[in-house]
Structure 1
Amino acid sequence: MSYSHAREIEALNRSLADISQDIQVSFEFFPPNSPAMEETLWSSIERLAPLKPSFVSVTYGAGSGTRDRTHDVIKRIQKDTALIAAPHLTCIDASKEELIQIAKDYWQSGVRHIVALRGDLPKGNTEKHSYASDLVELLRSVADFDISVAAYPEVHPEAPNAQFDLLNLKRKIDAGANRAISQFFFDVESYLRFRDRCVTVGIDVEIVPGILPVTNYKTLERFAGLTNVHVPSWMTKMYQGLEDDEMTRRLVGANIAMEQVKVLNREGVKNFHFYTLNRAELTYAICHMLGIRPQ
């Protein structure tokens, strides 16, 4: 081993030694829509389950087909693993009565944690619609759920301004949400500024940062465009020339996510939510580097 490589490893070890040992992680998955994707999902869950996450969430879209797939995944996680399953639930495209019944069914099947979201509006929709705060209030009326909601450090794409978006988050917390999970981001300062602004309006729950390990930069550009997430120029440069080099892209993605976690941990963050995209490799490697090992 060269002297320079030894110095790099020593510096990495010192950096990792600074990371808090009481970090907690949670993971997000989405319901598969093909046999191949189903196999990938369950192999990823099997790989990540021994890390003992605080919970695993499963996304939920509009329409009964996606909902049924979400319910099936949640039920199987409940039945076949020791994980705490937290289904996403949206209030778009469902009546109040339907939402109450879904919530009751979840509670009766042992689900205690729900991620409450408004959901995406159908294109061209101009009708009055419910908000996530309404769904939080409804869930609180059904049972004593542990409720997570979404937060947007760089502002929700449909919000007219940052203050409106912040006050909307406060309504969700005031309605009874236990925590907020942030949209993924890469500008750490944007998250820290957002966290400070939350305090100024009386939001006193934890804002769990959402971490997205990136393997495909083109996919990231599409996601970022849809969600109003800023991709820094330094990050664009890091992926240049790697279109046909998946291994290096993975190393770059893992390094960026690790740097985010290290900086945030120094700022007092102890809980992190990983958007896995149903792939375990990068998330597992990052958790391993954080000292989170199979139990």
Structure 2
Amino acid sequence: MSDRFIPSDISFSLEVFPPKTADGLDHLLAAVDAYVAIKPAAITVTFGAVGSDETTAHVRSVIRRIRQHTDVPVIAHVTCAGRSCAEVDAFVDDLVQDGVAHFVALRGDMLGHGAPYHPHPDGYAMTYDFVAALKRRHPAQQVYVAGYPEMHPESPSEAFDLDHLKRKVDAGADGVLTQFFFDPEVFLHWRDKVEKRGVHVPLVPGLMPILDFKRTCAMAQRCNAQIPDFLHTMFDGVAPESIDHKLLAMNVLSHQITRLIEHGVSHFHFYTMNETILTRHLCTWLRTGF
């Protein structure tokens, strides 16, 4: 693991997903307690694909429970897919009423990998339409959007992908949280291209702790995130529950973070998968610098 100095202004946010069971909620709240100890800047809460059993009421309830547990700001994911504008707006209004001041505005996905996207007939056709409406209705709330250093899987070209991101920012987005990636150079090259497009809001790299290499590979394939060959070699034959796997995962993340810090990155977004041990070790390292 790198022992390079970590600047004192480094911050990070942690992403969790709403559990489906009471036991899962207990586990999540215990995880939140563990996260609070490492002082994240925010905790983001995801929303499932169209047709999943996640309802707005369930997600709202989970967000309420998390906010009762901690003073750490909660950022709510809100998706447009499968919902009318009125339904999406009502969900946002409810969350604002609950005290949520930060949102991630997303198109969302249809249920099932590879299922073609069809906007709701009375819904927001594009994410930038939703962003504009959200900022118009709630100008004081902060809105983040998604960015894709390796392109969205459905984008026909890199130029299209970059232009789409700029339209979301021009619609009022305050910052960008990226899809996870495993090669820091991918993010750095993408950042240069985005800035040349005239996008000048915070670009926050999303990083995924490798909890189980095979499962991570499967997820990366769905998200169009490339895994470098050296990682396949590194994790070959290493059991996911082993100490060796955890140490390798920490080394991979510390290398990514160190490289990004060298190029001016000061905030990171971690996809925790509701896991605590690796996340705590990683963020403790970020806080202490070694």
TM-score by length of 2: 0.91
Residue from 108, 113, 118 that aligns with 1:119: 108
Point out the more displaced range, 28-37 or 57-66: 57-66
Residue from 38, 55, 78 that aligns with 2:67: 78
Q: What residue number does 1:24 align with?
A: 11
Q: What residue number does 1:55 align with?
A: 42
Q: Which protein has the bigger helix share?
A: 1
The residue type equivalent to 2:283 in the other structure is C
The residue type equivalent to 1:209 in the other structure is P
Q: What is the deviation of 1:35?
A: 3.4
The CA distance in 1 between the partners of 2:117 and 2:86, in whole Å, is 22
CA contact 1:159–1:165 (8 Å) conserved in 2:
yes
The CA distance in 2 between the partners of 1:200 and 1:82, in whole Å, is 37
The CA distance in 1 between the partners of 2:143 and 2:288, in whole Å, is 25
Runs of 4+ in structure 1 off by over 2 angstroms are: 34-40, 62-65, 121-129, 243-246
Q: What is the deviation of 1:279?
A: 0.4
CA contact 2:212–2:240 (8 Å) conserved in 1:
no
Deviations 1:34-79 (A, max 9, x none): 3342232111111011222111100002348413332111111222
Q: What residue number does 2:81 align with?
A: 92
CA contact 1:215–1:246 (8 Å) conserved in 2:
no
Q: Does 1:140 align with 2:140?
A: no
Closer/same/farther in 2, CA of residues 219 and 244 from structure 1, 3 Å limit: closer
Q: Could you tell me which runs of 5 or more consecutive residues in structure 1 were left unpaired when the two chains were aligned.
A: 1-8
Q: What residue number does 2:286 align with?
A: 290
Residue from 251, 254, 259 that aligns with 1:263: 259
The residue type equivalent to 1:136 in the other structure is V
Point out the more displaced range, 127-136 or 143-152: 127-136
Q: What residue number does 2:221 align with?
A: 225
Q: What is the deviation of 1:138?
A: 1.4
SS of structure 1 residue aligned to 2:287? coil
Q: What residue number does 2:92 align with?
A: 103
State the superposition RMSD in angstroms.
Answer: 1.8
Point out the more displaced range, 243-252 or 274-283: 243-252
The CA distance in 2 between the partners of 1:267 and 1:244, in whole Å, is 31
Q: Does 1:216 align with 2:212?
A: yes
Q: How does 1:127-276 map to 2 (within 5 A)?
A: 130-143=125-138, 144-243=140-239, 245-276=241-272
The CA distance in 1 between the partners of 2:228 and 2:201, in whole Å, is 28
CA contact 1:88–1:115 (8 Å) conserved in 2:
yes
Point out the more displaced range, 165-174 or 129-138: 129-138
Sequence identity, in percent?
A: 35
Aligned residue pairs: how many?
Answer: 280
Deviations 1:68-109 (A, max 9, x none): 332111111222311111110001111111111111111111
SS of structure 2 residue aligned to 1:167? helix
Q: Could you tell me which runs of 5 or more consecutive residues in structure 2 were left unpaired when the two chains were aligned.
A: none
The residue type equivalent to 2:234 in the other structure is M
